[in-house]
């Protein structure tokens, strides 16, 4: 049987000598059975390079989703912040010339909309250009006087309003959507633009030298006070302080963004491993596995219900069909069977060409493992009957399916050295496969051992509906077992 790299299959089932389907994944000779159960972080082992590639792709998808959500959140936060700032401006300065700044807030809203439109993971010149436009526009708004203002103060008076704090609004928005490098770039660009703005203001002539002279005369010889209140004073020390503090905050936030992205990638990897687990275990078992560090490593013996399913005569069907039709048929069949396994809290052990093996009570025993297995097999019979009805309506031949069930002790535990697998080993597995083989000789749909039926009756009560269709037969000799075992059968549905 072909298998994926670094994954082995162990099976002491299917040793009854029956012909198997000539599919791309035929059954191996009988050996001890091992569960292909992925461990929480290291299971579902593929070739290392392939696994790394898949992890990178999964992380890339997570980053793309995170970037998209972050941009949408950032633009919504921007719109709210702009609305608050617009109201604040009109409350603090109730003058008509303030409408100039309110109108400029619309440009910031437009830039935010454009950032969402062009946003993507990775280096994007368009996004960087829009971020730079954000910062450059804010610098101009802060250092350039209102052209519609009624006052003609010196340009340096713009620094007396303390509007540098608005750069922190843009920095906060960047942390929601961009990488840590971009956050650092925002801090660096802000520092550079703020320095350029200060140089431009310094270059401007004094618009009202008479006002400056009167203030100097009033202050007298107190040069420090004059430097603070002079309308032409740029306050280079304060400007440097603003730049340094802003860079400290930007770098700190960049570290937080980097940590957040690392956590996102790790979370994506964990979710990918949960997805791998979900391929083998039912959702409730996946949830239980995620609560334990290494729940599969402990070697132990416990009672488990084992179910084998096989399509009878699939070899002859496959010999006269195209490969595409064979694979399509198997996918339809496996999909129906897999659905019932998970719906009844079972674990899909493996696909065996034209059949499958499932267990109930692994990796953790439950209060209704035997009854879940029985109900699952009966639900599979109903699903197979419906599938055959649809095939018949389309002019395709129906498929005869056999089911074997047994309940008993098995050995559970990891095996292997580099490539680990969770093995389910024991005579119970062999017996379940042999019971499925008896469906041919007994011309029935299902053969269940008395051990499983008696256990299911204890779990459900003897009058429960699943037992109504079962018929008890004399003990049967099973190859590989020392003693005959009593069995129960369920007849096939006749067309």
Alpha helices per DSSP H over 179-235: 180-203, 209-219, 223-229
Predicted local distance difference test score (pLDDT) of residue 151: 76
What is the per-residue burial (b if ≥16 Cβ within 10 Å, else e) of 38-48? bbbeebbbbee
Residue 117 pLDDT > 70, yes or no?
yes
Whole-Å CA distances, 143 to 94, 146, 150, 198, 338: 21, 9, 17, 8, 68
Predicted local distance difference test score (pLDDT) of residue 207: 64
Query: Cα(280)–Cα(289) distance, rounded to whole angstroms?
Result: 12
CATH of domain 295-490: 3.30.70.1230
Residue 33 pLDDT > 60, yes or no?
no
Predicted local distance difference test score (pLDDT) of residue 264: 73
Residue 477 pLDDT > 60, yes or no?
yes
Radius of gyration from C-alpha coordinates of the chain? 37
Handedness of CA 458, 461, 462, 465 (dihedral sign): negative
pLDDT band at residue 15 using 50, 70 and 90 as cut-offs: very low
What is the per-residue burial (b if ≥16 Cβ within 10 Å, else e) of 257-284? beeebeebbeebeeebbbebbbebbbee
Kindly state the average pLDDT of the residues 452-465: 86
pLDDT digits (tens, 9 = 90+) for 350-382: 888 899 999 999 888 899 999 999 999 999 999
pLDDT digits (tens, 9 = 90+) for 323-358: 999 999 999 999 999 999 999 999 888 888 899 999
pLDDT digits (tens, 9 = 90+) for 153-182: 788 888 888 899 999 999 999 888 888 899
Question: Residue 487: beta bridge partners?
Answer: 449, 473
Predicted local distance difference test score (pLDDT) of residue 66: 72
Residue 37 pLDDT > 90, yes or no?
no
Question: Residue 415: beta bridge partners?
Answer: 421
Question: Residue 414: beta bridge partners?
Answer: 422
pLDDT digits (tens, 9 = 90+) for 291-315: 665 656 678 899 999 999 999 999 9
Predicted local distance difference test score (pLDDT) of residue 46: 38
| Domain limits, the chain | 51-274, 295-490
Predicted local distance difference test score (pLDDT) of residue 400: 93
Which one, of 407, 410, 441, lies nearest residue 423 by Cα?
410
Residues 6+ apart with CB under 8 A from 305: 359, 360, 361, 369, 370, 372, 373, 374, 405, 406, 407, 452, 455
Residue with tokens 């077992």: 481
Helix, strand or coil, per DSSP, at residue 322 = coil
Handedness of CA 290, 292, 297, 299 (dihedral sign): negative
Question: Residue 400: beta bridge partners?
Answer: 312
Which one, of 112, 175, 167, lies nearest residue 141 by Cα?
167
Most confident option among 7-16, 118-127, 286-295? 118-127
How high is the mean pLDDT of the chain?
81
Q: Are 308 and 432 in contact (CB under 8 A)?
A: yes
Query: Cα(77)–Cα(74) distance, rounded to whole angstroms?
Result: 5
Which one, of 230, 101, 237, lies nearest residue 157 by Cα?
230
Angle subtended by helix axes 167-177 and 125-143, to nearest 10: 170
Pairing of strands 421-425, 300-312: unpaired
């Amino acid at each position: 049987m072909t298998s994926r790299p670094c994954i082995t299959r162990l099976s002491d089932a299917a040793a009854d000598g029956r012909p198997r389907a000539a599919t791309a994944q035929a059954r191996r000779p009988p050996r001890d059975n091992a569960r292909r159960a992925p461990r929480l972080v290291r299971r579902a082992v593929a070739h290392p390079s392939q696994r790394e590639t898949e992890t990178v792709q999964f992380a890339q998808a997570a980053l793309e989703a995170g970037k998209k959500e972050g941009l949408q959140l950032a633009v919504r936060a921007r719109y709210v912040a702009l609305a608050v700032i617009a109201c604040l401006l009109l409350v603090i300065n109730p003058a008509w010339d303030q409408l100039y700044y309110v109108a400029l807030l619309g440009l910031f809203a437009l830039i935010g909309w454009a950032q969402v439109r062009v946003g993507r993971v990775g280096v994007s010149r368009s996004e960087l250009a829009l971020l730079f436009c954000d910062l450059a526009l804010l610098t101009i708004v802060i250092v350039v006087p209102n052209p519609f203002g009624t006052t003609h103060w010196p340009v340096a008076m713009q620094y007396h309003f303390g509007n540098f704090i608005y750069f922190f609004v843009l920095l906060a928005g960047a942390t929601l959507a961009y990488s840590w490098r971009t956050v650092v770039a925002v801090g660096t660009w802000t520092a550079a633009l703020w320095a350029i703005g200060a140089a431009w203001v310094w270059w401007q002539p004094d618009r009202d030298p008479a006002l400056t002279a009167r203030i100097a005369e009033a202050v007298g010889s107190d040069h420090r006070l004059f430097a603070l209140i002079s309308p032409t004073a740029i306050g280079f020390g304060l400007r440097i302080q603003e730049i340094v503090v802003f860079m400290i905050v930007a770098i700190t936030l960049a570290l937080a963004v980097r940590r957040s992205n690392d956590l996102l990638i790790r979370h994506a990897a964990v979710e990918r491993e949960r997805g791998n687990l979900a391929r083998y275990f039912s959702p409730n078992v996946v949830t239980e596995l995620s609560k334990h560090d290494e729940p599969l490593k402990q070697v132990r013996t416990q009672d488990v219900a084992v179910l084998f399913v096989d399509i009878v005569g699939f070899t002859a069907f496959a010999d006269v069909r195209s490969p595409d039709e064979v694979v399509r048929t198997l996918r339809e069949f496996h999909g129906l069977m897999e659905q019932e396994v998970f719906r009844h809290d079972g674990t899909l052990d493996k696909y065996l060409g034209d059949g499958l093996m499932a267990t109930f009570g692994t990796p953790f025993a439950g209060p209704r493992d035997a009854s879940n297995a029985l109900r699952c097999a009966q639900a599979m019979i109903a699903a197979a009957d419906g599938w055959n009805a649809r095939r018949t309506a389309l002019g395709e031949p129906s498929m005869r399916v056999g089911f074997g069930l047994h309940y008993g002790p098995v050995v559970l535990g990891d095996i292997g050295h580099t490539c680990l697998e969770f093995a389910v080993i024991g005579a119970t597995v062999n017996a379940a496969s042999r019971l499925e083989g008896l469906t041919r000789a007994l011309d029935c749909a299902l053969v269940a051992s008395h051990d499983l039926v008696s256990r299911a009756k204890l779990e459900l009560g003897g009058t429960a509906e699943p037992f109504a269709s079962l018929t008890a037969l004399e003990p049967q000799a099973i190859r590989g077992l020392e003693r005959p075992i009593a069995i129960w059968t369920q007849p096939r549905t006749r067309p």
